Structures are given as structure tokens and as C-alpha cells.
């Protein structure tokens, strides 16, 4: 894995801009904190701490660029299998982020929403998540969606459970279940699907993140480790997105003279 520099550069193909509008909804898989730390001889906890700083920069940059929705993969349902010390450090960072950054987000008219499974969370963590949502729920600038204790397969299973309950209750017939019905029972059915999904660190997979919603998203993979992610990296990813043409399974657009 190549080492990320302090000023990461993403090689851009020479393809012209397709004229596509900037993305309305950007989702980011924030990957590479541990490798960033390991390459510098630092503890993983320092990589996670620097990752929080990158999140702060990114929220600010997204707002300045006029993007309406930012969804971040903060903690997956599979992350609980990590060492207990790392889990403790991550939960500590979550507590500090909400306590230290929530007021600033609220001041800047950012609304926070959380998706993921909340059952069986520590009561304090559950209260912090609810506090963040309640304080900011009337804000209408940037929407920051935090995927916490989240897994896309688990989200789809929860949607199936809700639909099955309706069928058992006689409120719906099995033949009524369509893709639109499933979508309406996901964690945030009112939100548009992400236009652009960015993954940092050079890995090229979704890792159980927004599998349903990303069916037609544009995917951009950057080699930069998450702690080094900055506005330039974001703008380069958006430029790559705008060079593409989204067809949603249809034919390529034909431009006539």
C-alpha cells in the first residue's frame, strides 16, 4: 500500500467533463486510519483521532461546496469484533466529537441524523445519538447522516422484518412487496440515494455500506488514507464524478448537433 503524503494527489484521467451537475448526496467510507498510523509508527488511536480531524475538515468543505447531504460510515456493525481497547478508544472519540463538535455543527445549521441498529447500544451512547439528532433536527443547511453500528445487509433484513410484520398482520399481501416497498422500509427512506460514494485508502469495495442505495451511485476510490483527506481530495473526487455519465441502466446519451 503506498504511503499517503500530507498533500495527496489523485491522478485524473484526461476525459472531458460530461457537464453533469455536482452531486447532491455524497457518501464516504472513511478508511485507512490504522494504516496511516502504522506507517508512522503511531498507535491506532492516533490514526482515529486524526480521522476525526479529517471529518471536521470534510463537513466544512462539503458545506462550502453546496452539497446537500453527506453520509459517513463511522462505525460498522462488524467493527465490534475489533480489540476491546480499540472499541473503547473509538467510543471515547464519539463521545468527545458529540460533546465538543455538536454545538459548532448546530451553530452552522447542520442537521445530524443517525442510521443503523440502536438496540443493545450502551445507554449513554444511545442518549448521545438522540441528543445530536434532537438538538439539530430543525436545521436545514447541510444534512450530516452518520452510519453508526450500521451494516447494509442488516438494514435490508430489518426492512424485510418490518414488511413481514405487515404481511402477517394482514396489512399487506406478499404480492404487494416491490422494490419501492422495500426502499420505504429502510433506515432513512426519505433521503435520496447517494450520487457519489467515495472510499479512501485505495481499497475498492463497499464493505456492507449502503448496498441498496448505491445500486446506481458513481464509485470513486482514492489512494489517500482518511486522516489525510482534505478539500482538494474531495474536489478531485467530485471532478471525476462530473466526468462520468449516469445512465441508470439505460443507453448512453446522444448529443445531436
Secondary structure (3-state) at 75: strand
109 catalytic residue (yes or no) = no
Are β-strands 111-115 and 196-199 bridged in parallel, bridged antiparallel, or unpaired? unpaired
Q: 146 with 112: CB under 8 angstroms?
A: yes
**Catalytic option among 31, 187, 195, 228:** 31
- Please report the DSSP string for 157-210 in residue order: HHHHHHHHHHHHTTSS-GGG--HHHHHHTSS-TTSPPPSEEEE-TT--S-SSSS
Active site residue 187: no
Among 79, 108, 139, 208, the one annotated catalytic: 79
Distance CA 108, CA 229 (A): 21
Report the candidate in 60, 70, 55, 64 with the shortest Cα–Cα distance to residue 192: 70
**Are the C-beta atoms of 55 and 147 separated by less than 8 Å?**
no
Q: Are 187 and 211 in contact (CB under 8 A)?
A: no
The upper half-sphere exposure of residue 130, i.e. CA atoms within 13 Å in the direction of its Cβ, equals 9
**Could you give the residue numbers annotated as active site?**
31, 79
Amino acid at each position: 500500500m503506498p504511503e499517503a503524503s500530507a498533500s495527496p494527489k489523485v491522478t485524473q484521467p484526461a476525459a472531458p467533463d460530461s457537464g453533469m451537475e455536482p452531486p447532491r448526496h455524497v457518501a464516504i467510507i472513511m478508511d485507512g486510519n490504522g494504516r496511516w498510523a502504522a506507517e508512522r509508527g503511531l498507535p491506532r488511536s492516533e490514526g482515529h483521532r486524526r480521522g476525526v480531524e479529517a471529518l471536521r475538515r470534510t463537513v466544512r468543505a462539503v458545506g462550502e461546496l453546496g452539497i446537500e447531504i453527506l453520509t459517513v460510515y463511522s462505525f460498522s456493525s462488524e467493527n465490534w469484533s475489533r480489540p476491546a481497547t480499540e472499541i473503547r478508544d473509538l467510543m471515547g472519540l464519539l463521545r468527545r466529537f458529540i460533546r465538543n463538535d455538536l454545538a459548532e455543527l448546530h451553530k452552522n445549521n447542520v442537521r445530524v441524523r443517525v442510521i443503523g441498529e440502536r438496540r443493545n447500544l450502551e445507554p449513554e451512547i444511545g442518549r448521545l445519538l438522540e441528543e445530536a439528532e434532537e438538538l439539530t433536527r430543525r436545521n436545514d443547511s447541510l444534512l450530516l447522516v452518520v452510519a453508526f453500528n450500521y451494516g447494509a445487509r442488516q438494514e435490508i433484513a430489518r426492512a424485510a422484518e418490518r414488511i413481514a410484520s405487515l404481511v402477517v398482520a394482514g396489512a399487506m399481501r406478499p404480492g404487494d412487496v416491490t422494490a419501492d416497498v422495500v426502499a420505504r422500509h429502510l433506515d432513512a427512506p426519505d433521503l435520496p440515494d447517494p450520487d457519489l460514494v467515495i472510499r479512501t485508502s485505495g481499497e475498492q469495495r463497499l464493505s456492507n455500506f449502503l448496498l441498496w442505495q448505491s445500486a446506481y451511485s458513481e464509485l470513486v476510490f482514492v489512494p489517500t488514507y482518511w486522516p489525510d483527506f482534505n478539500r482538494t481530495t474531495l474536489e478531485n473526487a467530485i471532478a471525476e464524478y462530473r466526468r462520468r455519465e449516469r445512465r441508470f441502466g439505460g443507453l448512453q446519451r446522444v448529443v445531436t448537433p
